[in-house]
Each structure stands twice: as structure tokens, then as C-alpha cells.
């Protein structure tokens, strides 16, 4: 890389990429952003990350970070003005994100694409996913955020997936008995950093003018 900016390959609607962008925003770091098309992934991204999934962050020294959790931790490790990596709850945050990624995401995918997974009904998939929502509701009944009265990496790491779950059927989601979770989600959907994270960009192609994120 010859740029003075780290380079993030991203896809706006991907929840993994959302949390990576949120991590960069909370860390107040600027990167070159390359929005990709999933149907036409750029060869430059595939050259540094053959698995072909986003997000991928290439640092100016050429090092590549391919996992969204690692991008968040790396970014907040550079600077963390709001202390999202609070050492007192970091082990709890990691466990919660692990549960999100390895359990909740499984049921979320089947709920969202129930027509591709005919073993159960969409409602049954939703009910399986609700087990995690109940955990979150219980945490939020005690505090404003998942692990206390301040946001942590757990909040920004999990929120994009709850958002995706809610958007499968918003009417159903907001009829469920999770008022604290619904308030928490609305808080994040209106947060200035989330609004910045969801800025639309055209898919990148070689020769395009650099997009600096956040602008």
C-alpha cells in the first residue's frame, strides 16, 4: 500500500462490516473506505483476503485484519476515548459477542431466509433467536447498556445483528415483550455514529477517487 490511510473493504448492509465501521468511528480513526459489490468483489480485496468476506482492513504496513471483532479491538486499541474496551467487563463483553456470533447468528440467518431452510417454520426460527433477545432484555433491565451504564464493545458488536433480526419483520419485533431491548435498539439507530456508519457509497473500482471514512 502506498496510501497514508489504512484501507477498509466494506459492504454497507453487512452487520459484521457495520460493527467494524462503528469501532473505527468510536476510535476516531479515518480510513480509506472501499465499498464492495458482493456480486463483483474486487481482485485487490481477494488478493489480500481470499476468503472473500467483509470487512477486511489492510493497514498501511501491509498487515491484514480479516475479522470484524479483531478490527474493532484493533481500532479501539489505538485510541478509546469512550472506554468501550473497559477492562472490568471485557471478559463479559467477549462472552456475549461470542454467543451472538456463534448462536444467535445461526438462528438469525434461518429466520431471515426461512424459505431456504425448510426444516422449521419462520416463527420457530424466530423463537429460537429470541432466547438471545431474552438474555439481552435481562441485561438491559438493569442498566442503560448491556454491561453497565456506559456503552462497551458488546453494544456496538451486537447491535447490528439485533437490527437485522428486527428488520426481518419490524411489526413483529416491536410487538415482542422486550421493551428495554427495543429502546436500546432505537437509541443506537438514532446515534450519530451509526448514521455515519450507514452512509451510502458507490462500489469501489480501481482508479476511483479515494473515499475517506468518516469524511
Tell me if 7-82+195-213 shares its fold with 90-193.
no
- Distance CA(32)–CA(53), nearest Å, equals 18
**pLDDT, position 28:** 98
Three-state SS for 31? Answer: strand
Three-state SS for 41? Answer: coil
CATH number of 7-82+195-213: 3.40.30.10
Counting as low any pLDDT under 50, the low residues of the chain are 1
CA atoms within 13 A on the CB side of 39: 0
Work out the number of other CB atoms within 10 angstroms of the CB of residue 197: 23
| DSSP conformational letter for 28 | T
Sequence spans of domains, the chain: 7-82+195-213, 90-193
- Distance CA(71)–CA(152), nearest Å, equals 15
**pLDDT, position 2:** 56
Grid cell at residue 126:
424466530
**pLDDT, position 1:** 45
| CATH of 90-193 given 3.60.20.10, 1.20.1050.10, 1.10.10.10, 2.40.110.10 | 1.20.1050.10
Residue 72 phi, psi dihedral angles, 5° rounding: -60, -50
Q: Check the CA dihedral 189-163-85-5 and report its sign.
A: negative
**pLDDT, position 151:** 98
Amino acid at each position: 500500500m502506498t496510501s497514508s490511510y489504512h484501507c477498509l473493504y466494506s459492504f454497507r448492509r453487512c452487520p459484521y462490516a457495520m460493527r467494524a465501521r462503528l469501532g473505527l468511528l468510536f476510535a476516531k480513526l479515518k480510513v480509506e473506505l472501499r465499498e464492495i459489490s458482493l456480486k463483483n468483489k474486487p481482485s485487490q480485496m481477494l488478493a489480500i483476503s481470499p476468503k472473500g468476506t467483509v470487512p477486511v482492513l489492510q493497514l498501511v504496513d501491509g498487515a491484514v485484519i480479516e475479522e470484524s471483532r479483531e478490527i474493532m479491538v484493533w481500532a479501539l486499541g489505538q485510541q478509546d476515548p469512550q472506554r468501550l474496551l473497559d477492562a472490568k467487563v471485557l471478559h463479559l463483553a467477549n462472552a456475549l459477542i461470542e454467543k451472538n456470533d456463534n448462536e444467535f447468528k445461526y438462528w438469525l440467518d434461518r429466520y431471515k431466509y426461512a424459505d431456504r431452510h425448510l426444516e422449521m417454520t419462520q416463527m420457530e426460527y424466530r423463537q429460537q433467536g429470541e432466547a438471545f433477545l431474552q438474555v439481552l432484555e435481562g441485561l438491559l433491565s438493569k442498566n442503560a447498556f448491556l454491561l453497565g451504564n456506559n456503552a462497551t464493545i458488546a453494544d456496538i458488536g451486537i447491535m447490528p445483528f439485533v437490527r437485522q433480526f428486527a428488520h426481518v419483520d419490524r411489526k413483529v419485533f416491536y410487538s415482542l415483550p422486550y421493551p428495554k431491548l427495543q429502546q436500546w435498539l432505537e437509541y443506537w439507530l438514532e446515534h450519530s455514529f451509526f448514521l455515519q456508519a450507514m452512509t451510502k457509497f458507490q462500489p469501489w473500482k480501481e482508479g476511483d477517487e479515494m473515499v475517506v471514512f468518516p469524511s
